[in-house]
Amino acid sequence: MMLPKTILILAANPKGTSQLRLDEEVREIDLALQLSQRREMFTLKQKWAVRQRDVHRAILDCKPQIVHFSGHGEEKQGLVFEDENGQVKFVNAEALASLFQVFAPYVDCVILNACYSESQVKAISQHIDYVIGMKQSIGDKSAIDFAVGFYDALGAGESYEFAFNLGRSAIQMGQRQGIAEQFVPTLYIRHNEKHKNEKHKNEKHKVVVIEGELDSLDEAKIKALIQSLQKRGKDLTIEIVAVEKSSIKIIIKGTEEGLQRIQELFNSGKLEDLENLKVIRVRDLDQQEQRKVESKKKPMTITDKQLQQLIDRISNNPDPKSSARRKAINRLLKELQQLPGLLRSSNRYYLEALDKTWEWVAQNICNFQQRSHLSLQESLAKWINSYLFWRIKDLYSNRQYSQEISIDMAFNLNDQNPTSLLDQLSKTGFASPTLSGLDAYIEEQRKKKIQDIFERFERYVEEDPEMLLRKCHPRNFPECHCQLLTKKLLLQEPPERLSQIHREFQNLGVKIPDQTLRSHWKNKCLPLLQNRLESLGYSKDEES
């Protein structure tokens, strides 16, 4: 299950330094995330006029995965923060590296959108996986263009490397001819296997069993559970590594001391609930769970030749009752779970579909044929992924719609030789499927469902029968109510931007601060609208 990321923006522009357009940069970042496909996966936190002591306090408070500094930098002296009087206070590379070493367990990426910050980037990258900075001086416009491109990509679900490259491209697209500021941003990626091995070595696991339905755990609830466990265990490294059925079984990992505190709190009756969910049990992993956790850590060590020998051993022993055949199948399935490139998904049907896929592999491995242009491992991964993909769609279809569709069911019954989707896949060697057959049917039904929901949502916004939208407004600014903002930002064609709406209010004599308007929209209006959409039958799963 993919968890939301928190982005912490630290802005500093002390007295005596050149004025930067920091408010515009932050506003554009906020807008890029709001307009993104996965806006619900990001939370933006802002700290302004940051002093050196404010940095660790803000990180402790927000627990971000991404830290973004906007301000000035000097190559040798470091980043420019404010002191108690608003004057310049330098923080050097060594101090920054020491700080982020402490917060490395949950900070994934650091962006230093400041001139001459490469030396600080090098130092921080000893402890943080992705660190971005500027090799030399960079103009305000280019710095903003980079930030917008970077967060546009993250909002679309892309990687940090992809986002970095898009940020560079955004600079190039927007700059004047003859300037090459797209080469100023630099990205350092940490490759420290020793650190990763030490980290895994010190990790421990616990099982927390909670009363409730698995479907009740959305991304926000998962994030709240993590923060609650971290707080109670006094361990910032605690995270959830698996969520399974049977009540709600959460497998968590963290330091031995942190998980021991969680166990002691439960044993003493002080951990009766987590985020309003009753805690039934806290225990160590059983053998099967331990094997599952260990299997995720181990890389693929078997060679193509050894894999082929296992497959041949199974094929040459067709007797299903043979103990030698069963042992070979069990060994093969264990190895195949470590295949590089094997499909991983947060889809709610993934685990069930995966179990069905392994059953199918055990029954059909003798029919597998390696592709001539691929290695054995690559061929196996594609073969398994294609079946797994269709099994997920199969389960989705059966659970979502009254008309049952299965990959085993013939879809051209009027033809002389009806075939199923499984037949078609077999004939094509399980090539990656296109939007046809079952997939097209599901896509069509999904679009119809979403269209109906949004038509009813639009009517609700227009009528506002319970006056909930019109009553939702910032204190002292009743004109800036949620109904008006929703119409302008979501329903109007073309939609307006918050900056445009703010100017309109100013022209009408409504002196609402820009940040108040943005905060009201994000923290009050959007959750209210999301609740209404969910009551109409919409869920975040519809986006996947």
| Mean per-residue pLDDT, 436-455 | 64
Give the whole-angstrom CA distance, residue 50 versus residue 203: 34
- Per-residue pLDDT at 271 exceeds 50: yes
DSSP code of residue 65: S
| Measured CA angle at 132 (ends 129, 133), to 5 deg | 145
Model confidence band, residue 326 (pLDDT cutoffs 50, 70, 90): confident
| Mean per-residue pLDDT, 163-180 | 80
| 502: CB partners within 8 A, 6+ apart | 512, 514, 517
Model confidence band, residue 482 (pLDDT cutoffs 50, 70, 90): very high
- Per-residue pLDDT at 9 exceeds 50: yes
Q: For 88-143, what is each residue's pLDDT tens digit?
A: 999 999 999 999 999 988 899 999 999 999 999 999 999 999 999 999 999 889 99
Residue 319 φ/ψ, nearest 5 degrees: -70, 115
Chain mean pLDDT for the chain: 80
| Mean per-residue pLDDT, 256-265 | 84
Give the whole-angstrom CA distance, residue 482 versus residue 520: 9
- Per-residue pLDDT at 274 exceeds 50: yes
The confidence score (pLDDT) of residue 297 equals: 53
Residue 251 φ/ψ, nearest 5 degrees: -100, 120
The confidence score (pLDDT) of residue 446 equals: 66
Give the whole-angstrom CA distance, residue 498 versus residue 430: 48
| 403: CB partners within 8 A, 6+ apart | none
Give the whole-angstrom CA distance, residue 124 versus residue 126: 5
Q: Which two tokens stand for residue 18?
A: 């050149």
| Mean per-residue pLDDT, 450-477 | 88
Domains of the chain with CATH codes: 5-191 (3.40.50.1460), 196-296 (3.30.70.250), 300-427 (no CATH), 444-543 (no CATH)
Q: For 388-403, what is each residue's pLDDT tens digit?
A: 888 877 776 665 544 4
The confidence score (pLDDT) of residue 242 equals: 65
| Mean per-residue pLDDT, 375-380 | 88
Model confidence band, residue 471 (pLDDT cutoffs 50, 70, 90): very high
| Mean per-residue pLDDT, 451-463 | 85
Q: For 275-299, what is each residue's pLDDT tens digit?
A: 888 888 888 887 777 766 665 555 5
Higher per-residue confidence, 433 vs 119? 119
CA of residue 10 relative to chain centroid, distance: 22
Residue 524 φ/ψ, nearest 5 degrees: -115, -55
Give the whole-angstrom CA distance, residue 73 versus residue 77: 8
CB distance 71 to 22 below 8 Å: yes
| 507: CB partners within 8 A, 6+ apart | none
| Mean per-residue pLDDT, 34-53 | 88
Q: Which strands form 273-274's sheet, in the order they lie side by side?
A: 239-244, 248-254, 204-210, 277-283, 273-274
- Per-residue pLDDT at 201 exceeds 70: no
The sign of the CA dihedral 432, 437, 438, 441 is positive
CB distance 52 to 78 below 8 Å: no
| Mean per-residue pLDDT, 7-12 | 94
Most confident range (mean pLDDT) of 21-35, 197-211, 398-412 is 21-35
Of 75-79, 348-352, 420-424, which gets the smallest average pLDDT? 420-424
Higher per-residue confidence, 311 vs 351? 311
Of 87-96, 224-233, 494-503, which gets the smallest average pLDDT? 224-233
Model confidence band, residue 418 (pLDDT cutoffs 50, 70, 90): low
The confidence score (pLDDT) of residue 320 equals: 80
The confidence score (pLDDT) of residue 194 equals: 43
Give the whole-angstrom CA distance, residue 319 versus residue 94: 66
Higher per-residue confidence, 238 vs 304? 304
- Per-residue pLDDT at 206 exceeds 70: yes
Of 23-32, 129-138, 430-439, which gets the smallest average pLDDT? 430-439
Model confidence band, residue 425 (pLDDT cutoffs 50, 70, 90): very low
Instruction: State what percent of residues in the chain have pLDDT above 70.
Output: 80
The confidence score (pLDDT) of residue 224 equals: 78
| Mean per-residue pLDDT, 322-340 | 86
Instruction: State what percent of residues in the chain have pLDDT above 90.
Output: 29
Higher per-residue confidence, 434 vs 448? 448
- Per-residue pLDDT at 354 exceeds 80: yes
